Amino acid sequence: MQYRNLNRDDVKIYLNDIISCYNSNRFILDSQSSLNFLNPENLYEFILGFVEAEDSIVVGLFDDNFQFLYGLVIFDSIRFGQGIKATAEVHIAVDRTAFGKITFHLLEELQRDCGFTTLFCHVPSIANRAIALLKKLNFKKTGYIPNCLPYKNLKGEEDLYDVQIWVYNRPNIIDELLEDEEIPF
């Protein structure tokens, strides 16, 4: 598998794959979200908003021939500090067919190569697979927001769930960049 930044045309070409990624991850959108019932046109506009935003980058996770898109990683709310400090909120959606070691290693490689000193995300407390992935990627839970996201439980009843805040701090990015002599992105 490989990854690369997506552009407007890519969103059109891989829209069915993107839909499959979001359908495989039912906790990405809460039950009250206006995007909860995404149709292809709404999802296209949603992802295109990140692709065209000045403070976002959308990266596609592809098979080796770039025939199939197996996942999206959105770096949003990108901020640059003094020196080589940069932060971003990260959103990950991976298709069910790509869950496992191959995708994990690609995400690990992307995390290492992305150039951000700090990545953070907000994850519903019931999204066990997402939390397990974050732990494997060395994110640390730094807090939570209690009872803030409405979701339907297995009985179909609406309930409020906590949102966990997870952060990854790269310890020695300056040393790494000086060794590599090239800055990613």
**CA distance linking residue 77 with residue 90, whole number of Å:** 9
Q: In what order do the strands lie in the sheet with 69-80?
A: 2-5, 57-62, 69-80, 86-94, 118-124, 158-169, 140-152
The predicted model scores a pTM of: 0.84
Query: Residue with structure tokens 């999204």?
Result: 127
φ, ψ of residue 79 to 5 degrees: the values are -130, 140
Query: Residue with structure tokens 């997402």?
Result: 130
Cα angle 95, 141, 180; round to 5? 70
57-104 pLDDT, tens digit per residue, is 999 999 889 999 999 999 999 999 887 789 999 999 999 888 887 788
- Point out the residues of the chain with pLDDT beneath 70: 29-38, 171-185
Q: What is the pLDDT of residue 91?
A: 93
Which residues, in sequence order, are CB contacts of 47 under 8 Å at separation 6+? Answer: 6, 11, 18, 58, 72
Task: Look at strands 69-80 and 2-5 and give their pairing.
Answer: unpaired
How much of the chain exceeds pLDDT 90, in percent? 45
